[in-house]
Amino acid sequence: MTTETLAKTPLHALHLELGARMVPFAGYDMPVQYPLGVMKEHLHTREAAGLFDVSHMGQIVLRGAAAAKALETLVPVDIIDLPVGMQRYAMFTDDQGGILDDLMVANLGNDTLFLVVNAACKDQDLAHLQKHIGNQCEIESLFEARALLALQGPKAVDVLARLAPEVAQMTFMQFAPVRLLGVDCYVSRSGYTGEDGFEISVPAEHTETLARSLLAEPEVAAIGLGARDSLRLEAGLCLYGHDMSSSTTPIEASLLWAMSKPRRADGARAGGFPGAERIFAQQQQGVASKRVGLLPQERVPVREGAEIVDADGNVIGSVCSGGFGPTLAAPVAMGYVQNSHIALDTEVWAMVRGKRVAMKVAKTPFVPQRYYRG
């Protein structure tokens, strides 16, 4: 794609004004970093508050009395009992139990669900919903109508509460309509950094005004995709298309926690989603390989795609995400390794430019999550 054919978010001109280095990402021209640089942007988010433009993500609304029940036929998650004003992490699965995308689902009340899906998958996700449940509920794409900002970090609440004091009372995964600068927005207390923070859905035409207002606060800096990736990696959070895909199931991706108990094999509404039989069989019998955290024992970044070998040099897996963790001041990675090597502290090696780099299987998150649970 040339720069001319890349889509632009409503903040594109602001990114250029702020001196961002732009890169193609999921069909959009997006800021990978600002003059502050990835390392300082990362640390600023951990210490104060960072503002991320995530408007490339897709926002979709489902309406109708049958919407929750219909959506449950596509995800291994409890949507029917999702309380009004709460959000839940979910995954679309296919008939083989593979993950088509991961998403957030919020219950707005009045038989209305609000979905946020990944940028690279949003068109196929919309088509998937229309094909399978379009006859059971109304499906509205908000791709062009709304933008999405993420305000992340320990001081995010102080900043946003200046515009709307009620957000200070929200807890992790709560979702509410909030007026910001006189504009009707949706705010969730959630994010993709492991820190406390908020995601703000805002009408596209008001995005720049809101972004400028937030950036004017002394705690806030603009943060690009580079630091977004290192922050989510330290938090042990999956990136679709890298740490999971249609060739991995929720069990292989170590996402069993995200499958709601009522939808599991022994649950009140067991199965009923694509690939349930295979996923349940894997849950009981185990899988050949799983996603694990990995801590390289040398100061050598281990990147996605690096082969993972055992002491005898046999290939036992590969790295799916890797880089430098600025908070830890050390490299971090995640990868898929054979079941025989997934125990914590197991020693494995990554092949980096023909050399073996020692790694240990480690617990994720690498940096403690600081979500606000009240």
What residues make up the domain containing 27?
Answer: 3-55+144-234
Give a three-class secondary structure readout of the chain: CCHHHCECCCCHHHHHHCCCEEEEECCEEEEEECCCCHHHHHHHHHHCEEEEECCCCEEEEEECCCHHHHHHCCCCCCCCCCCCCEEEEEEEECCCCCEEEEEEEEEEECCEEEEEECHHHHHHHHHHHHHHHCCCCEEEECCCCEEEEEEECCCHHHHHHHHCHHHHHCCCCEEEEEEECCEEEEEECCCCCCCCEEEEEEEHHHHHHHHHHHHCCCCEEECCHHHHHHHHHHCCCCCECCCECCCCCCCCCCCHHHCCHHHCCCCCCCCCCCCHHHHHHHHHHCCCEEEEEEEECCCCCCCCCCEEECCCCCEEEEEEEEEEECCCCEEEEEEEEEHHHCCCCCEEEEEECCEEEEEEEECCCCCCCCCCCC
Q: Is residue 295 part of a domain?
A: yes
Q: How many whole angstroms separate alpha carbon 263 and alpha carbon 13?
A: 45
- In the predicted model, what is the mean pLDDT of residues 7-28? 98
Among residues 169, 200, 234, the one where a domain terminates is 234
Residues 29 and 158 in one domain: yes
pLDDT, tens digit, 9 for 90 and up, residues 196-242: 999 999 999 999 999 999 999 999 999 999 999 999 999 999 999 99
pLDDT, tens digit, 9 for 90 and up, residues 317-342: 999 999 999 999 999 999 999 999 99
Dihedral angle at the C-alpha atoms of 10, 12, 17, 23, nearest 10 degrees? 160
Q: Is residue 229 part of a domain?
A: yes
Residues 221 and 296 in one domain: no
Residue 101 is predicted with a pLDDT of 98
Residues 148 and 230 in one domain: yes
CATH of residue 329: 2.40.30.110
Overall domain count for the chain = 2
Residues 198 and 300 in one domain: no
- In the predicted model, what is the mean pLDDT of residues 22-48? 98
Residues 292 and 230 in one domain: no
Q: Is residue 90 part of a domain?
A: no
Q: What is the pTM of this model?
A: 0.97
Residue 213 is predicted with a pLDDT of 98
Residues 226 and 343 in one domain: no
Residues 168 and 46 in one domain: yes
Among residues 234, 263, 278, the one where a domain terminates is 234
Residues 206 and 343 in one domain: no
Residues 159 and 297 in one domain: no
Residues 34 and 162 in one domain: yes
pLDDT, tens digit, 9 for 90 and up, residues 100-129: 999 999 999 999 999 999 999 999 999 999
Residues 172 and 299 in one domain: no
Q: Is residue 281 part of a domain?
A: no
Question: Token match 């094909």: residue?
Answer: 131
Q: Is residue 92 part of a domain?
A: no
Q: Taking 90 as the threshold, does the pLDDT of residue 295 lie above it?
A: yes
Q: Is residue 245 part of a domain?
A: no
Q: Is residue 280 part of a domain?
A: no
CATH of residue 39: 3.30.1360.120
Q: Is residue 65 part of a domain?
A: no
pLDDT, tens digit, 9 for 90 and up, residues 165-180: 999 999 999 999 999 9
Among residues 234, 249, 280, the one where a domain terminates is 234
- In the predicted model, what is the mean pLDDT of residues 293-311? 97
Residue 4 is predicted with a pLDDT of 73
